[in-house]
A and B are shown apart, each in its own frame.
Chain A
Amino acid sequence: MRTITCDVVVVGAGPGGSMAARYSAMGGLDTILLEKKAEIGAPLRCAEGVSKSWLDEVGIAADPTWIRADMKGAIIKSPQGTSFQLDESKAGAEVGYVLERHLFDKALARDAAEAGARIMMRTSCTGVIREEGKLVGIRAKSMGEEIEIRAKCVVAADGYESQVARWAGIDTNLKLSDIDSCIQYRMCNIDVAPDYCEFVIGSVAPGGYVWVFPKGNGVANVGIGVAGQLCTRGADAKYYLDKFIAEDPRFEKGQILEIMGGFVSTCPGLDCAVDDNLILVGDAARIIDPITGGGICHACRTGMYAGKVLSECAKTGDFSKKALMPYEKMWRDRMEDKLFRNWMAKEKLATLDDETIDELIKLIATADLEHVTVYNLLKAVKEKFPKVVEGFEDLI
């Protein structure tokens, strides 16, 4: 069997993996980035909406080649039709772009390659290699050939599937209520606002929401996430999405160009995302905003942190759990409080009936907030409906 040796092997060339590979290569480490599919960034498993504020933070320059549409704001709707329009003047950098993920992901992989990372396409990880208990690399299948890749550290960036971590003995299992089952249609010939991202919460999407993210020319990503504990065979994500579309006249003439599925975790992240010779980033570490299901910025941040910490470890040659712990501290310092707060908010949201949701949206619409962020929205809710934020009021 062919054996390839490197310093760092990154499994998965999504945003988290490419960022980890880029920063690891920048630190002088011989880095290999694996992608199991035949194309980076496709097929799509994403709603493609992101905020703008974090791009600078992770060293990504906004590039028109992967920005499909620039949003003016967001609209939050209740099933009764009460809506709240959030404009950029108030939402600031929370409002953002609708991306072309197939181009965005390739751009990040290209950045990794320019930093020196080697990319192996059509190469799927099939297991990990341990010698005397120590993680020393992974087994993979590359264009049909069984190979071994030996590395000082493995970066698991294999997304929601998160199998690499489990092969390495880390429990990435989720509670049913911390899973959202999603489906999305790329629709055309529809009559939606071209520069507002729309979110519909309540019984239309039990425990989750419906999104309509415009992509220009009467095209949009129209999708839904339904909380795991509220899914049943027969009343699944597709059932709810089809019902929503059938009942909204804007989609009457709509046609579907693409159907995609995909799940997100909605927990506040794993208890620990490092082990000896192993770092988990992004979705694989369950680091996703539990209320929006947004994972791209979290993946990019954790990928960058992972690459930076690995670069530090290279100086001593120590890739033990202890040496990798600064990664754990970095992501927690930056995101833990928010992830936990939004997880609590998500848990509450899943229990509210449509009337209460309608009341909440009316309240938010009249609250006259200077800057609209999830934090400020929750603050307004706390004043009027303290029961809704019971249990996590200290975080608001």
Chain B
Amino acid sequence: MKVDFDKCLHCGGCVGSCPKNAIFLNDYVLEFNDDCINCGRCVKLCPVAALSME
């Protein structure tokens, strides 16, 4: 997953929506761990199109 930090609002929406609990929001940094299965749910849901598939 690719995060566009210029767009990200740090709202944590993707964190709570991830079916694998693979996303972490630490202050202004959004991180994905190895559990990510590239399902694309966060990409679809992000309110500001800050996420994309790598």
A residues with CB within 8 A of B: 43, 45, 124, 159-163, 166-167, 172-174, 176, 179, 181-183, 226, 228, 231-234, 236-238, 259-263, 265
Contacts and interface: CB of A to CB of B under 8 A. Distances in A.
B13 A160 contact: yes
Interface string B15-54: 1110101000110000000000000010111111100100
Given A181-B13, A182-B13, A261-B13, 17 more contacts: A160-B16, A161-B16, A161-B25, A162-B16, A166-B21, A176-B45, A179-B45, A181-B47, A228-B17, A233-B52, A236-B45, A236-B46, A238-B48, A259-B9, A263-B11, A263-B12, A263-B17
B11 A233 contact: no
A259 B8 CA distance: 11
B21 A124 contact: no
A290 to B, nearest CB: 15
9 closest pairs, A vs B, by CB? Answer: A261-B11, A263-B13, A237-B47, A261-B9, A183-B47, A160-B16, A161-B16, A161-B15, A166-B21
Given A161-B15, A163-B21, A260-B9, A183 B48 contact: yes
Nearest to A228: B45
A81 to B, nearest CB: 26
Greatest chain B CB density within 10 A among A124, A237, A261 is at A261
B43 A260 contact: no
A30 B47 CA distance: 40
Given A124-B26, A179-B17, A263-B17, A160 B47 contact: no
A238 B47 CA distance: 6
Nearest to B17: A179
A43 B41 CA distance: 24
Contacts of A43: 10
B23 to A, nearest CB: 9
Contacts of B12: 45, 159-161, 262-263
B27 to A, nearest CB: 8
A265 B45 CA distance: 13
Nearest to A283: B16
Interface residues of B, number: 21
Contacts of B46: 181, 233, 236
Nearest to A43: B10
Contacts of B21: 163, 166-167
A234 B46 CA distance: 10
A151 to B, nearest CB: 22
A68 B43 CA distance: 35
Contacts of A238: 47-49
B41 A176 contact: yes
Nearest to A182: B47
B33 to A, nearest CB: 12
B52 to A, nearest CB: 7
Nearest to A165: B21
Contacts of A183: 9, 47-48
A236 B48 contact: yes
A261 B47 contact: yes
A260 B26 contact: no
